[in-house]
């Protein structure tokens, strides 16, 4: 396993955040409706982690460091975990585990169905993130994992529907998502690769000058 200590540090950092939120809720430090704050925070956390996982490939193209790709899978799995926690928090704090009212909730609040669709996409990605799945699916694995792009758009739609009156933070997330999607266009990827090659060439030339 490459970069075990960095992997452990990432695990501890990401795992500690929900624990801290839960501590704040128990300490009555999340305002008058801590359940809703937890639901919203976990949902936004899932989106942030999804964006971070998508940023790993452009970071590798810019820096040439292969470690970014090593962490991509781990961050992506955490995005799925946060999304599951988001669902559990909604069912417990907002629905009160009253599953008989779930159908009415889906009708009155269609964004819940949109969120469920996003969770389905993340579930597919998480279930097929293993090396066994990569070997089994072969070339189809990359095609299947392109579902991350429509999943990201569905997550953004879900969040926009929830925060309709306060779309400032959503606009920030949407802008970052747009940049990350644009970075995957072939022309942009070529530019990034050229920029990395020039940067490496300049650094090598500088090293040669210093050694000389």
H/E stretch holding 112: helix 111-127
Could you say which DSSP state residue 99 is in? G
Give one DSSP letter per residue of 150-206, joined into a string. HHHHHHHHHHHHHTTT--HHHHHHHHHHHHHHHTTSHHHHHHHHHHHHHHHHHHHHH
Q: Does 212 score more than 60 pLDDT?
A: no
Give residue 87's pLDDT: 93
Give one DSSP letter per residue of 33-94, joined into a string. -HHHHHHHHHHHHHHHHHHHHHHHHHHHHHH--THHHHHHHHHHHHHHHHHHHHHHHIIIII
Q: Please write the tens of the pLDDT for every residue from 141-174.
A: 888 889 999 999 999 999 998 887 677 889 999 9
Neighbours of 123 (CB within 10 A): 14
Contact call for residues 3 and 67 (beta carbons, < 8 A): yes
Taking Cα atoms as reference points, which of 76, 26, 17 lies closest to residue 51?
76
Q: Please write the tens of the pLDDT for every residue from 104-125.
A: 888 888 888 899 999 999 999 9
Taking Cα atoms as reference points, which of 94, 86, 83 lies closest to residue 35?
94
Chain-centre distance of CA 19, in angstroms? 19
In the chain, the percentage of residues whose pLDDT exceeds 70 is 91
Contact call for residues 130 and 124 (beta carbons, < 8 A): no
CA distance 115 to 148: 14
Confidence of residue 210 (pLDDT cuts 50, 70, 90): low
Neighbours of 105 (CB within 10 A): 16
Give residue 98's pLDDT: 78
Q: Does 184 score more than 90 pLDDT?
A: no
Q: Does 72 score more than 80 pLDDT?
A: yes
* Burial class, 47, CB count within 10 angstroms (exposed 0-12 / middle 13-18 / buried 19+): buried
């Amino acid at each position: 396993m490459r970069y075990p200590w960095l992997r452990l540090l990432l695990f501890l950092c990401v795992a500690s955040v929900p624990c801290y939120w839960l501590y704040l809720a128990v300490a009555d430090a999340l305002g008058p409706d801590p359940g809703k704050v937890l639901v919203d925070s976990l949902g936004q956390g899932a989106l942030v982690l999804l964006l971070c996982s998508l940023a790993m490939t452009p970071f590798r193209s810019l820096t040439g460091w292969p470690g970014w790709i090593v962490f991509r899978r781990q961050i992506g799995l955490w995005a799925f975990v946060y999304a599951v926690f988001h669902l559990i928090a909604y069912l417990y704090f907002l629905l009160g585990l009253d599953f008989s009212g779930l159908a009415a909730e889906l009708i009155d609040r269609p964004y819940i169905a949109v969120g469920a669709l996003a969770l389905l996409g993340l579930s597919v990605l998480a279930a097929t993130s293993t090396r066994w799945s990569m070997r089994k699916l072969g070339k189809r694995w990359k095609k299947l994992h392109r579902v991350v792009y429509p999943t990201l758009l569905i997550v953004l739609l879900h969040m926009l529907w929830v925060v309709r009156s306060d779309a400032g933070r959503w606009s920030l997330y949407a802008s970052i998502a747009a940049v990350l999607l644009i970075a995957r266009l072939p022309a942009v990827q070529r530019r990034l690769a050229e920029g990395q090659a020039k940067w490496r060439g300049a650094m090598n030339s500088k090293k040669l000058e210093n050694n000389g």
